[in-house]
Structure 1
């Protein structure tokens, strides 16, 4: 860990230098911050559930607005990791719509139902409880905010790493219509339409947005027996739409009704075999985007949501707000763990989730005190079903066909009351106090079965297959049917010092918790794992001077306690995979983040963000039969590079032909492991170069953009499945299924896209 500590020390020195320089400058600057003449954009965020200037919020936050997203050709949520230090947002294994999210080393390793995220995803303040369908496409968005560090006071459970807020565009009051088309390599064809219609002038508006997003695969399935199936791998086939109705009957009362629906019919994502198969004669593919499979290639993710927001200004200081929301998702998916043409280790699965939430807020805003308080209710049903099909078990066991089936639900109901206020003692000194009390009950069932035949979740999964539920019912056993209740108090304490109009210094302590849960893979009636807890300390600076330079910096330390983890135990019955969930131990992280924006001239600007983090497990206890052993040296904090950095340049050029914006950025991610323990694949540090040219007509109606991503065509891992045992001589012993299963999933290759849009 010494290398990481040197990086952290260097980063702290950089921040200290920036801080001391800023202090010296602030003493000479008596004009204060004048955003009207500033070369820097005034950025408004709602990180504390009220509209504030980014520079006034004592939270480590990155906000990326619609204009910046468009000019950088950002089309999907995962690309935002480039802009936020110490952040990982990547497409998960097996599908293009499941999100892997980590912030400051805290996230969710396994997307199976029942497991809880460590980073909260929000659409217009509505929480998305599951990672399936969370790789959101950027459609008619106003901005995206990335909040780093525990947000347990205002946002509640499962935000121990942070939160990502997807904020859709609000109505402007005028009739608008915009159409946009994008074409690119891999036969990319995207079509987007959005607009708004005043139904009653100054009172009632209807907004709409829709998108059809199509692309061929970066690779293909090269299996020989896929007659009649789509062979595209890493392709895209998405339709997304949104309707919004806004009503303002009086100046003090506002209603907003949102409906959104997404259908993702992109194929299941096949992995790349890094080792030759022992059981087939197929070679390792030539491309990392090519794969083999014995499952159908189709996949589906359907998500749908509706929300109603009502806000009322009681008077100049008091206001109330209500957010009522319901969401559901359904995802049948095919995951071929071994990625061969044999059914060595195939897992067809169904994820089925529903949630309802209700939040009431009572807010107060005066010259001295700003208060956000509320009541929150959440009811979520998270269910699933998978069949682990093993037809060939090598030397361990040979069967004509064997299927291990799991199904069940992890349902939760929670209530919370919260309040957070900031009080100004003087013009310079203020203090923030926040607290949230949450009580949650979780009910879980796990059904398990073993069939000596190949079984799929439902009829028609493969052509001609009929699932005989009546005949299978006798083999299905309920091994877990239990409930558990937890209560948690999560505080936040902060002190802010406004050194000058241009600089704020802050220090804070915050706590968050990740929900306790039952093991969805349980083989016995094992108890639930307790909630995970994160305690975080931060020191930060928000500064801006000369209306051209913005420097925001944070140093932090967090302790991640009672970490939940699945352990695999040997079983005398080779058909039983005994996986038990428990709280295994603690980890910690220390780090720093620096974000700089510099408007060198009216036309030229630079952005720099750097994050460094040093993580390690302090304790991982395992039972040896007579006592506990500490095996923390075998664990690593996954999906967390020691260094992330982004340097971007933006140049505006005004001509008689219109306005041109040229931009480019270099994004670097340091080395990181893909799994917490038994890691066999480590991604070396790599850099991505992205370039763009944008054009805007002088009348403001037309726009166009040409964007090239991953210019140098870097290959980098974002996920893995590993079912082999490494040997000292560099060879591997086969694992589950009797084959050398070491699989990699990769990020996007070099792509080029041209976009043209018209609006009036």
Structure 2
């Protein structure tokens, strides 16, 4: 009840501000040029003022991200209400993202993310290599709530749009070098030039090097280091005002050392202790390689004054070779070598219409993707190597539309819908090999299979109709409000870790999940446009949520993906930017969410303890247990907040911008089951960035300090406590305090 009162007070504060703003219209006060800048977004596939979009959207320009010291897209977690965007446990560049409690922590092939990531309108279907570094971009937009009526692929939780810069009509270039803590050495080189006849070409190269925050005390290698190279190339052709073509290529190579985590418990045998957060005693090796690349062709034709036709053709692929030492010791108690491969082709056609009374988009989408992989679980205490592998192929077809109509000068309604058909084919195997060394699939000694635990193929089709409706009303020229309903959908699949001898139902797969999302919002400008703000209150009813669980049983590790049942999520969000003086501006973001399971029906395999009564062991055949009272949402802190100030003034003939920023995340769970050893307490991060720009914008000097109070906070973990795997409980941590300086030269 207390939480509901807090949420109601926050929503009420926004509506009180609205009343003040409406009154202020009667007696406007000149602001002497102190208006905040108008924010223009393309959330609905057309340029609109943020005030007019009946969707909860956060937008960040490249300049804003630079002032926030954003090195990659995980900075969004600090600045955006009710989201989690971070690097996956045991990884350097795999993305984990949640919006309003909806996401997908498990990055294994076959699982679909709950949050859609788009690079220039191209859907990125796998999370490997998706922790995108922020360079040479126009802006990033975060859309909260289901967006299936607007975007190519289903986005049940929301969407993150990464928009790169278009080439201009002038030749220009830029070089930026950065040096910082832990021997950070970054280089960015970019340039573009017109060729003639409406053709321009451009490219960018980025190199990111950094020593580790810690050490692998067994091998001597750097731990939590960075070794990444990225390339972007593009060509744009605009023969006239009505035609535009863009061919774009990107490639990222991540050779950073493998991340193994640090032990949160001492071993039961062997004498290995808890060490520094960034150190590890893992003995399984440090080799890691992640390669991703994409090619896309965008064609746009302004067919008339009101109609634009657009085609987006894209292909993407990726390959990962990595190792994770789950036990964090030189002993091969729980070592995991893994290989992942993926590729996809997509084609999207759009028709965007806009006149004075009707605006909207109609789209057709097709995607053909394959994701495969294999990993070993080398279980030294059991004398086994367990090989898990398989492949999932998806053919997705969808038609969607979202149109708005002005019923009066101030009242507008929007109607949208999506029809989705996903056909999936899967092969899955799980094999036991005698001997605690790599299996033949991972280059180990050839030997016969000891036992086949899982070996099946399956295919099925998932179809869903998902509508959206909204109504918006302009309370004044500077203020608008809206209400909306939308349905989100994510298709089902099969557990790539499933053991058919422990959980026979694994061959049946898991069902799709759906969410019914209700939202009301208020956004616009206050105090003669010295303040811009956006607020939203939301309620989501989540059904058949897909939850991945691994538990220790006598024969090893049992995996299951449960359609957990139902849950209720509600909360509020508030964002504002204020021009306090001619030199000083402020940004505020605040989010609150209450996420609770109504039912959580989890299958517990035979031999495992009963979650409702740990003294009892689940009998043969396993049992489904409702654990809603014991479980909670992962990666979903109740409160998130951010406050920053930016002072801009003249210094040495140039312009100096100083931005201190404080961000807060409430306590949160790493998994659905509370685990005090791994769950993270509330923490606050303090950052400061100072950027001096020379006259003519030819030179920039920047000094950035991140996590200045040196907070140590977990971003993930693995829990395999107990004697079977020698108390293998490990945690992964966010970056410590760092300071960096950079010089940029533009010509």
Matched, 1:421 2:403: yes
Distance in 1 of aligned mates of 2:27 and 2:514: 44
Partner of 1:541: 522
Structure 1 residue aligned with 2:205, among 186, 197, 210? 210
TM-score, L = length of structure 1: 0.92
Matched, 1:453 2:435: yes
- In structure 2, list runs of 5 or more residues that go unmatched: 501-505, 604-617
After superposition, the CA RMSD in angstroms is 2.1
Provide, for residues 553-579 of structure 1, a one-character-per-residue CA deviation record: whole Å limited to 9, x for no partner: 1000111110112455887xx435332
Contact 2:390-2:427 at 8 Å conserved across structures:
yes
Contact 1:491-1:511 at 8 Å conserved across structures:
yes
Distance in 2 of aligned mates of 1:319 and 1:157: 21
Structure 1 residue aligned with 2:737, among 750, 753, 757? 750
Partner of 2:473: 497
Structure 2 residue aligned with 1:601, among 576, 581, 605? 581
Partner of 1:669: 665
Matched, 1:13 2:12: yes
Alpha-carbon shift at residue 455 of structure 1 (Å)? 4.0
Alpha-carbon shift at residue 490 of structure 1 (Å)? 0.8
Partner of 2:245: 255
Partner of 2:422: 440
Contact 2:15-2:522 at 8 Å conserved across structures:
no
1:636–1:27 CA distance, 2 compared to 1 (3 A): farther
1:186–1:62 CA distance, 2 compared to 1 (3 A): same
1:518–1:99 CA distance, 2 compared to 1 (3 A): same
Alpha-carbon shift at residue 17 of structure 1 (Å)? 2.1
Alignment of 1:113-132 (within 5 A): 113-132=109-128
Distance in 2 of aligned mates of 1:665 and 1:458: 51
Alpha-carbon shift at residue 458 of structure 1 (Å)? 6.8
In structure 1, the residue corresponding to 2:697 is in which secondary structure?
coil
Alpha-carbon shift at residue 72 of structure 1 (Å)? 2.2
Contact 1:37-1:547 at 8 Å conserved across structures:
no
Distance in 1 of aligned mates of 2:143 and 2:425: 30
Contact 1:26-1:503 at 8 Å conserved across structures:
no
Partner of 2:710: 713
Alignment of 1:72-471 (within 5 A): 72-155=68-151, 157-200=153-196, 203-223=198-218, 226=219, 231-285=221-275, 287-393=276-382, 401-456=383-438, 466-467=443-444, 471=447
In structure 2, the residue corresponding to 1:10 is in which secondary structure?
helix
Partner of 2:571: 591
Structure 2 residue aligned with 1:682, among 676, 679, 682? 679
After TM superposition, the structure 1 stretch with the greater mean CA deviation from structure 2, 591-600 or 619-628, is: 619-628
Contact 2:180-2:739 at 8 Å conserved across structures:
yes
In structure 2, the residue corresponding to 1:634 is in which secondary structure?
coil
Distance in 1 of aligned mates of 2:717 and 2:346: 34
After TM superposition, the structure 1 stretch with the greater mean CA deviation from structure 2, 598-607 or 473-482, is: 473-482
After TM superposition, the structure 1 stretch with the greater mean CA deviation from structure 2, 560-569 or 257-266, is: 560-569
In structure 2, the residue corresponding to 1:276 is in which secondary structure?
coil
Structure 2 residue aligned with 1:487, among 463, 481, 495? 463
Distance in 2 of aligned mates of 1:584 and 1:708: 42
Partner of 1:610: 590
1:570–1:76 CA distance, 2 compared to 1 (3 A): closer
Alpha-carbon shift at residue 23 of structure 1 (Å)? 2.7
Provide, for residues 371-423 of structure 1, a one-character-per-residue CA deviation record: whole Å limited to 9, x for no partner: 20010001110101000001124xxxxxxx31011110121111000111000
Distance in 1 of aligned mates of 2:395 and 2:659: 47
Distance in 2 of aligned mates of 1:183 and 1:457: 42
Partner of 1:528: 509
Distance in 2 of aligned mates of 1:535 and 1:593: 18
Distance in 1 of aligned mates of 2:33 and 2:581: 13
Partner of 2:655: 659
Contact 2:664-2:682 at 8 Å conserved across structures:
yes
Distance in 1 of aligned mates of 2:166 and 2:438: 45
Structure 2 residue aligned with 1:619, among 596, 599, 622? 599
Provide, for residues 328-374 of structure 1, a one-character-per-residue CA deviation record: whole Å limited to 9, x for no partner: 01111111111111000111111111111100011211110002001
Distance in 2 of aligned mates of 1:477 and 1:587: 33
Alpha-carbon shift at residue 723 of structure 1 (Å)? 1.2
Matched, 1:25 2:24: yes
Alpha-carbon shift at residue 131 of structure 1 (Å)? 1.2
In structure 1, the residue corresponding to 2:390 is in which secondary structure?
strand
Distance in 1 of aligned mates of 2:29 and 2:402: 32
Distance in 1 of aligned mates of 2:340 and 2:583: 49
In structure 2, the residue corresponding to 1:309 is in which secondary structure?
strand
Distance in 1 of aligned mates of 2:477 and 2:316: 43
Structure 2 residue aligned with 1:695, among 692, 695, 700? 692
Contact 2:56-2:143 at 8 Å conserved across structures:
yes
Distance in 1 of aligned mates of 2:508 and 2:29: 62
1:149–1:526 CA distance, 2 compared to 1 (3 A): same
1:453–1:58 CA distance, 2 compared to 1 (3 A): same
Distance in 1 of aligned mates of 2:263 and 2:316: 36
Provide, for residues 634-658 of structure 1, a one-character-per-residue CA deviation record: whole Å limited to 9, x for no partner: 1101111111010000000123431
Alpha-carbon shift at residue 252 of structure 1 (Å)? 0.5
Distance in 1 of aligned mates of 2:663 and 2:151: 30
Alpha-carbon shift at residue 628 of structure 1 (Å)? 5.9
TM-score, L = length of structure 2: 0.94
After TM superposition, the structure 1 stretch with the greater mean CA deviation from structure 2, 640-649 or 36-45, is: 36-45
Distance in 1 of aligned mates of 2:445 and 2:623: 47
Distance in 1 of aligned mates of 2:659 and 2:674: 41
Contact 1:143-1:167 at 8 Å conserved across structures:
yes
Distance in 1 of aligned mates of 2:142 and 2:259: 27
Alpha-carbon shift at residue 26 of structure 1 (Å)? 3.5
How many residue pairs align between the two structures? 724
Alpha-carbon shift at residue 630 of structure 1 (Å)? 2.6
Distance in 2 of aligned mates of 1:156 and 1:375: 8
Alpha-carbon shift at residue 39 of structure 1 (Å)? 3.0
Contact 2:636-2:668 at 8 Å conserved across structures:
yes
Alpha-carbon shift at residue 82 of structure 1 (Å)? 1.4
Partner of 2:555: 575
Contact 1:157-1:512 at 8 Å conserved across structures:
no
Alpha-carbon shift at residue 24 of structure 1 (Å)? 2.2
Distance in 2 of aligned mates of 1:476 and 1:256: 50
Distance in 1 of aligned mates of 2:366 and 2:470: 26
Alpha-carbon shift at residue 30 of structure 1 (Å)? 11
Contact 1:62-1:83 at 8 Å conserved across structures:
no
Provide, for residues 71-103 of structure 1, a one-character-per-residue CA deviation record: whole Å limited to 9, x for no partner: 222111101211210011111111110111111
Distance in 2 of aligned mates of 1:241 and 1:617: 44
Provide, for residues 691-722 of structure 1, a one-character-per-residue CA deviation record: whole Å limited to 9, x for no partner: 11110001220001001011100111110111
